[in-house]
Amino acid sequence: MSNLTVHAAYESSVRDLAALLTRAFSNYIRRGIVMDGVLLSRMIAADHIDLGLSQVVLQGELPVGLALVARRGCTSRVAAMGIIPEAQGQRIGTWLLNQVIEQARARSDRMLTLEVIEQNTYGVRLYEAAGMKPIRRLYGFLGAGLAGEAAPLESVDPYEVARRMTALSASDLPWQCSGETLATQGAPNVGFRLDDAYALITNPAADAITIRGLVVAPGSQRRGQATRLVAALLAAHPGKTWGVPAYCPEEYGEIFVRTGFSYDTINQFQMILRLQEV
């Protein structure tokens, strides 16, 4: 590994980082990931990715992979990590992950977190070998032709949903559905309220709608309010294809099953590595 070095991602253009990320994930599950400068810029903003902490790994002078790192407080997240196909099988991913972990320790972070597709057995083994532990499964859901049940929905600012998510949700939610992430989402995303339940969905005028966030005030939980809100959303937007990204904690999955959604064929582990005790 003596020919491996890293440099901060900000030393590369966003366009070059997007191209490197696309190459690194070209043989990934579900036909890879295609990224461009615009999409990556949005991801950086939404997920609080820090290009000063993110790393590009070079083999000699050739960029062969990268790790995008986000940070909030004393917790860092590996938002994406990949090695280009030509450089895979050389344990470069292991080396790069160790760099990320040691840098997090050096800046006194308390925790490193990430999500990995459970069916990506190589990735799961890589992270487990570094000491990361799964704390829950995360599921995605799909629905088409769902009828729902009409109810009087109130439109609210997406930021209000994000604020409620931050104040009322569990503190260990996956990064991508946390209130801090949802706070970056404005129009055409739309927020809705029904009683004490709040939801954030993507553009309701599109053929496919994604439910980005869902929260119920603690005093009103376990009363069916989340289920009624989802059913009302379905009724208010008939004929749409619906999805929930594969970062829904398993303990909340029954809400979507009850409203007719089916499980996606892939799911994730939410994993953590404790770097320091609080």
Rounded to whole angstroms, the Cα distance separating 184 from 162 reads 9
How far is the CA of 208 from the CAs of 41, 121, 150, 202, in angstroms? Answer: 23, 30, 19, 9
Would you say residue 125 lies in a domain?
no
- Within a domain: 131: no
Same domain, 93 and 212: no
Instruction: Looking at the structure, tell me whether residues 166 and 102 fall in a common domain.
Output: no
Domain membership of residue 123 (yes or no) is: no
Partnered with residue 56 across adjacent β-strands are 7, 66
Looking up residue 191, the CATH number of its domain turns out to be: 3.40.630.30
Judge whether 275 lies within some domain. Answer: no
Q: Are 146 and 243 members of one domain?
A: yes
pLDDT of residue 179: 94
pTM over 0.85: yes
User: Domain total for the chain?
Assistant: 2
Query: Is 248 part of a structural domain of the chain?
Result: yes
Query: What per-residue confidence (pLDDT) applies to 60?
Result: 94
Task: Give the domain range for residue 30.
Answer: 4-109
**Which residue in 57, 66, 248, 44 sits closest to 143, CA to CA?**
248
pLDDT-flagged residues of the chain (< 50): none
SS3 state at 25: coil
Query: Same structural domain for residues 157 and 245?
Result: yes
Domain-located, residue 68: yes
Question: Do 105 and 192 have their domain in common?
Answer: no
pLDDT at 276: 83
pLDDT digits (tens, 9 = 90+) for 65-100: 999 999 999 999 999 999 999 999 999 999 999 999
| Residues in CB range of 83: below 8 A, 6 or more apart | 24, 57, 64, 65, 92, 93, 96
Answer yes or no: do 148 and 265 share one domain.
yes
Question: Based on the domain organization, do 171 and 65 belong to the same domain?
Answer: no
In a shared domain, residues 38 and 151: no
Regarding whether 148 and 103 lie in a shared domain, the answer is no
Residues 99 and 147 in one domain: no
The DSSP secondary structure of 124-161, one letter per residue, reads: HHHHHHTT-EEEEEEEEEEEES--------EEE-HHHH
Based on the fold, state whether residues 95 and 201 are members of the same structural domain: no
